[in-house]
Chain A
Amino acid sequence: MRFDADLSDARMTVVLDIRHPFAYLALGPTIGFGKHNDLQLNWLPLSAQTLRPPSIPPSSDAAEDRSIRHKRNRAQMIAREIAVYAEAQGLLVEEPYRDGPAAAIELAWLWIRAAAPGALEAFLEEAFARYWAKQLDAGSIEHAAALVAHCGFDADRFVAWAEHEGPGAAAAVSRQLAEAGIFQTPALLVADQVFYGRQHLPMVGWLLGGRRGPGPI
């Protein structure tokens, strides 16, 4: 079983942080993109930066720093963006501002990726859906093992791996992603380029298709 990040061999690598709503919004379209283009995608987990909620406006008329107002405007826009596009995709995002550890689900992700790569996308869809419905503690090995079992795999073998080799393998993947300069998700790595965000899928498709015709702008 191969647990390394496989960045050099893969035609296209997709890096997601389960805790970021933009990663959830990217999951379905990216799976669809892979299927449409007959690609075996290299899915990798990364605990990067999570989303911060907008600050609360001051109750008085006191002057407020412009940078704080800027951040609030931006955070409010991102919240609207998540709500509108989640609704369009039929996704439930119970609470966009999630934090906490995701190590357990990342271990399960890497284990399924190595043990049953053909089942990984179904596993990710289930994991993300449960997490964003607040039915999954991404830091809990018990929750991760239950999900592994739900997907039809041997949870005991996963737990044994997660307690021994797993953390080292996960740390190696994180290190490889850091060395590749990945600092946020969703990240799409293709043709020696990094793209942050699912809006780049047309460009990625154009690159993978041999740059035929006018590129997306």
Chain B
Amino acid sequence: MEASDSRLSTTGHFTPVFARLRGEARLAVYIDLKSPYAYIAIEPTRAMARSIGVEIDWRPFTLDIPSYLGSAKLAKDGKTVESATRTNQQWSGVRYAYADARRYAALTGKTIRGTIKIWDSSLAGIAMLWAKRQGGFDAFVDTVYPPFWRRELDIDDLAVLERAISESDLDATGFRDWAEAEGRALHDRTNDEAFDAGVYGVPSYLVEDEMWFGREHLPRVAFILAGREGTPPDVANRRFGT
């Protein structure tokens, strides 16, 4: 990678660390099941990659939300906040993020219900890695995202994830043992590597030596993948390939 690293850094604003993290993939994308922004980014990301003819190396990245947005949990009635350590500013940001994701989700028929707690989505991330080993990352993601955001999927439950793997037409045999040992170790290692390199949110895109957070940067990601011809585009939430 070192030889190609020196060829990169076309803007001078990035370091080779992102190219190293990207590895052999032309485009690596980090997502987390518990992020509504990751959910609504999947479709335009796939469309962008299809329009350029690039394979996506999808990777799970488990957000540690309480470490930067405070924690919160709804009471059993599903409406009132039972406990929270958030500032008013954090609440404003979180409420806006959900409302924003929801209005875009509605355009493609997706439901995003308010979450009842901050999930530990690491088991779901491990299940993504399991699915990826079988070439079924897309199928698994398409199986789990919609029900999770309808609040119909308990991703703390290994059995639920096992069933989702099977429903994705993937083999779940051995998943439980793997998830508790090698899978957990792989997940934690790759999560730490990404975080140490500078990944902090999802969706995050690695392309050449650049890292971008948020689907609004898809026009730039596409511009880079297509060879940086013409005027660099500005940020935009937009459709691709239509």
Contacts and interface: CB of A to CB of B under 8 A. Distances in A.
Interface of A is mostly: helix
Given A73-B200, A85-B234, A214 B107 contact: yes
Of the listed residues A29, A71, A83, A215, the one surrounded by the most CB atoms of chain B closer than 10 A to its CB is A215
Contact of A217 (B89, B108, B212): B108
A77 B211 contact: yes
A217 B198 contact: no
Interface string A68-97: 011101101100110111011100000000
Interface string A164-186: 00000000000000000101000
A89 B235 CA distance: 11
Given A66-B64, A183-B89, A216 B234 contact: no
- By size class, the interface of chain A is 35 or more
Interface string B89-131: 1001000100010011001100000000000000000000000
A74 B200 CA distance: 7
A70 B104 contact: no
Q: Which of B13, B216, B234 has the most CB of A within 10 A?
A: B234
A217 B13 CA distance: 28
Contacts of B242: 214
A129 interface: no
B11 interface: yes
Contacts of A70: 64, 67-68, 195, 200
Contacts of B160: none
A74 B239 CA distance: 26
Contacts of A217: 40, 43-44, 104, 107-108, 237-239
A202 B236 contact: yes
A202 B68 contact: no
Contacts, number: 92
Contacts of B11: 83-84, 87
Contacts of A203: 103-104, 237
A80 B13 contact: yes
Given A77-B200, A77-B211, A84-B11, A71 B68 contact: yes
A89 to B, nearest CB: 7
B234 A73 contact: no
Contact of A80 (B14, B108, B234): B14
B232 interface: yes
B100 A199 contact: no
Interface string B202-242: 00000000011110110010000000000111111111001
A118 B231 CA distance: 30
B39 to A, nearest CB: 11
Interface stretch (A135-143, A155-163, A189-197): A189-197
B164 interface: no
B28 interface: no
A67 interface: yes
The CB with the most chain A CB atoms within 10 A, among B89, B212, B214, B236, is that of B236
B127 to A, nearest CB: 24
Nearest to B40: A217
Given A88-B232, A215-B104, 14 more contacts: A70-B68, A74-B200, A74-B201, A76-B198, A77-B200, A83-B13, A85-B235, A87-B11, A193-B103, A198-B234, A199-B236, A203-B237, A216-B107, A217-B237
Interface of B: 11, 13-14, 40, 43-44, 64, 67-68, 89, 92, 96, 100, 103-104, 107-108, 195, 198-201, 211-214, 216-217, 220, 231-239, 242
22 contacts: A66-B64, A66-B67, A66-B195, A67-B67, A70-B68, A70-B195, A71-B68, A73-B198, A77-B198, A77-B212, A84-B11, A85-B235, A88-B233, A88-B234, A183-B89, A183-B92, A197-B235, A199-B237, A202-B238, A214-B242, A216-B237, A217-B238
